[in-house]
Chain A
Amino acid sequence: QKEVEQNSGPLSVPEGAIASLNCTYSDRVSQSFFWYRQYSGKSPELIMSIYSNGDKEDGRFTAQLNKASQYVSLLIRDSQPSDSATYLCAVNKGYSSASKIIFGSGTRLSIRP
């Protein structure tokens, strides 16, 4: 079992709809959780971080964390063609300082006009 699991997709969502991306992790001691966006040929860009159970909203993005279920998700509202990218879920066991950050293999998201 991989430490961070994501559905590879592609996930196709119509423009203006909500895109829902999911991630599970295996290590219960994990403390910090991140979503990165990666366009083809580019490096990962941090878009959301979440540390506590519940929801965290930032503009059109909402990250959701459920530590009991070891589950993290990212919702993208009012999806735009520019949201088409690979979304990487990442998990860090450290809280006081960064330690090893483990990435999932990513979910490819395609927003169709």
Chain B
Amino acid sequence: GAGVSQSPRYKVAKRGQDVALRCDPISGHVSLFWYQQALGQGPEFLTYFQNEAQLDKSGLPSDRFFAERPEGSVSTLKIQRTQQEDSAVYLCASSSGRQGDTEAFFGQGTRLTVV
């Protein structure tokens, strides 16, 4: 596609509910990133994929957070048993992964509100 696409754009979840956030990267992009952004803060790194391999998940805040990219394209970020502190904008970015090209481009984000 022309850009990174995320869905849904907005999600309201009741505390304890499981949610799944989808990211469709730019076509052909090898690298995919997930970030969490709280109001007034910069994006906080969650996890990074190169193709289907999850190379870094050091930013996932708890074992309730899980990400996958089974075919090396679309990725899903899953949050189990959501808590109020999970309320944030979840941003996905992709990068070509080509030699010397490390620029990453963001989708529009999913705003998650846990009530």
Contact = CB atoms under 8 A, between A and B. Distances in A.
Interface string A42-56: 111110010100000
B102 A98 contact: yes
B56 A99 contact: yes
Contacts of A105: 41-42
Given A43-B109, A44-B91, A103-B42, A97 B98 contact: yes
Contacts of B45: 100-103
Interface residues of A, number: 28
A106 B58 CA distance: 22
Residue from A46, A97, A99 with most neighbouring chain B CB atoms (10 Å):
A97
Nearest to B111: A41
A95 B106 contact: no
Contacts of B107: 43
30 contacts: A31-B102, A32-B102, A36-B106, A43-B91, A43-B106, A46-B103, A49-B102, A49-B103, A88-B42, A92-B104, A94-B102, A96-B100, A97-B30, A97-B31, A97-B50, A97-B99, A98-B33, A98-B48, A98-B95, A98-B97, A98-B103, A98-B104, A99-B48, A100-B58, A101-B93, A101-B104, A103-B43, A103-B44, A105-B42, A106-B41
- The 5 A-B pairs at the shortest CB distance, nearest first, are namely A103-B42, A98-B95, A105-B42, A98-B31, A32-B102
